[in-house]
Structure 1
Amino acid sequence: MKKTPFAAILIIAVIFSAFHGQLSGFFPRLFLGLLLGLAYYYSGSIWLTMIMHALNNFLTVLMVYLFNAKITTVDMTKLPDTSLWVGIGSGITVIGLLYLFYKDRKPFIPVEVEKELEEPLP
């Protein structure tokens, strides 16, 4: 088996989702774990992933609060019957699209920029 960063990110996303301990939200958290892992891999910044995770948690708490205050009718604590299958299908679609997008990607080679211009710009 070829060892790739995506395989490592997928394994960590599964662990991330499993350790949250709620089976009904396993696939949405798996998808979130993939997004966070890919964000870290491509940005190299742990701060970006921390902000993304905090934003996700904040929006979830906000929606639960708004539901309890009867400001919205969207109950974040209950999933509709079809949401699991829609989530699985969406996750598979996103993973497939990411694979198609990145499979023929060329490695990034930085271009050296001359430190000083030969002639000053007008």
Structure 2
Amino acid sequence: MEDDLAAATERFTTFDSFGQFLLGFFAIAILPGVGEELLFRGVLQNGLQRVVKNQHVAIWVAAFIFSAIHMQIFGLVPRMVLGAIFGYLYVWSGNIWYPIIGHIANNGIGVIVAYLFSLGLIDSDMEDPESMPITLSLIGLIFFAALMFLFRNHYLKQKNIRE
């Protein structure tokens, strides 16, 4: 099944025209970004929070279910961490639009990179992690961690001011 899902992903990220790219971007980035976040953060995480009374448990259980529903065992942990990041964005901000935008950005970057690769404009193939320069990956990780730290501190500071 993992191979079938990989083949389906390749079909969805192979573009013969800009129109196909736009359709792919809508189907892979925008629809899941909105739909999955409303379902997993807006409904499931909120429901779990009301039942277990612990935001961290609610975030991680929702993140696990979010990852498991994608049915890719090799991507289970990274996708679960991504789901938890979206969950914390939601809890810190109290606004569902932040995880929606983050989800669209995450999926959208992948679609854009696949399109640019198919045009021969870049050498990094999303399907081959070894083609991505490690320095670029580390810079991205540091940048992402700094943004998350700033985001968290900003919203926690705002909540403390209101209390």
Q: Scaled by the length of structure 1, what TM-score is found?
A: 0.61
The one-letter code of the counterpart of 1:9 is: I
**Structure 2 gap segments, 5+ residues each:** 1-51, 135-140, 150-155
1:62-120 per-residue CA deviation (whole Å, 9 max, x = no partner) reads 0111112121111111334xx9xxxxxx9xxx8xxx9xxxxxx9x83636xxxxxxxxx
Counterpart in the other structure of 1:79:
129
RMSD: 3.1
Aligned length: 91
**Counterpart amino acid of 1:17?**
S
Alignment of 1:2-81 (within 5 A): 4-80=54-130
Higher gyration radius (CA): 1
Aligned to 2:8: none
The verdict on how the C-alpha distance between 1:42 and 1:68 changes in structure 2, with shifts beyond 3 A counting, is same
Unaligned runs of 5+ in 1: 84-89, 99-104, 112-122
Mapped to 2, the partners of 1:74 and 1:26 lie a distance apart of 23
3-state SS of the aligned residue for 1:32? helix
Question: In 2, distance between residues paired with 1:79 and 1:23?
Answer: 17
* Pair 1:78–1:18, CA change in 2 (3 A): farther
SS in 2 for 1:108: helix
Taking every aligned residue pair, what percent have the same amino acid on both sides?
36
| Higher RCO (Cα < 8 Å, 6 or more apart) | 2
More helix by share: 2
Partner of 1:110: 162
The corresponding residue for 1:101 is none
Name the TM-score, length of structure 2 as normaliser.
Answer: 0.47
Identify the residue that residue 137 of structure 2 maps to in structure 1.
Answer: none
- C-alpha deviation, 1:3, in angstroms: 5.4
